[in-house]
Amino acid sequence: MFYKISSSGNNFIVIYNPENFDIKTYSGVLEDVDGLVVLYPSSSSTANFIIFNKDGSRAKMCGNGLICATTYFKRILKSERTEFQFLTDSGFYKTEALDDGSYTVHFPKPKILVANQTTGIVDSGNMHMIQLVDHIDPNLMIDQQKVIGGNFNIHHLQKSIDEVYLMLSLENGVGFTKSCGTGCISSFAYLRSLALCEKNMLFKTLGGVIKVSENDNEYLLNGHSEIIYFGELYDEKN
**How high is the pLDDT of residue 220?**
98
26's CB contacts (< 8 A; 6+ apart) are 2, 13, 36, 233
Which residue, 219, 224, 190, is CA-closest to 207? Answer: 224
Which residue, 230, 170, 178, 232, is CA-closest to 205? Answer: 178
Asked whether this chain's domains 2-105+223-231 and 108-222 adopt the same fold, the reply is yes
Alpha helices per DSSP H over the chain: 27-30, 63-71, 138-148, 181-193
**Averaged over 201-214, what is the pLDDT?**
96
Q: Which CATH superfamily is domain 108-222 in?
A: Diaminopimelate Epimerase; Chain A, domain 1 (3.10.310.10)
**How high is the pLDDT of residue 7?**
97
**How high is the pLDDT of residue 205?**
97
**How high is the pLDDT of residue 238?**
53
DSSP per position, 64-106? HHHHHHHHIIIIIS----SEEEEEETTEEEEEEE-TTS-EEEE
Interval 13-48: pLDDT, tens: 999 999 989 998 888 888 889 999 999 999 999 999
**How high is the pLDDT of residue 233?**
79
**How high is the pLDDT of residue 150?**
65
* Domain boundaries along the sequence of the chain: 2-105+223-231, 108-222
Specify the pTM.
Answer: 0.93
- Per the prediction, the chain carries an average pLDDT of 94
Under the banding of pLDDT at 50, 70 and 90, the label for residue 75 is: very high
**How high is the pLDDT of residue 236?**
52
Instruction: Return the CATH class of domain 2-105+223-231.
Output: alpha beta
**How high is the pLDDT of residue 168?**
98
Query: Could you tell me what percent of the chain has a pLDDT over 90?
Result: 84
Interval 82-122: pLDDT, tens: 999 999 999 999 999 999 999 999 999 999 999 999 999 99
Q: Is the pLDDT of residue 156 over 90?
A: yes
Q: Is the pLDDT of residue 237 over 80?
A: no
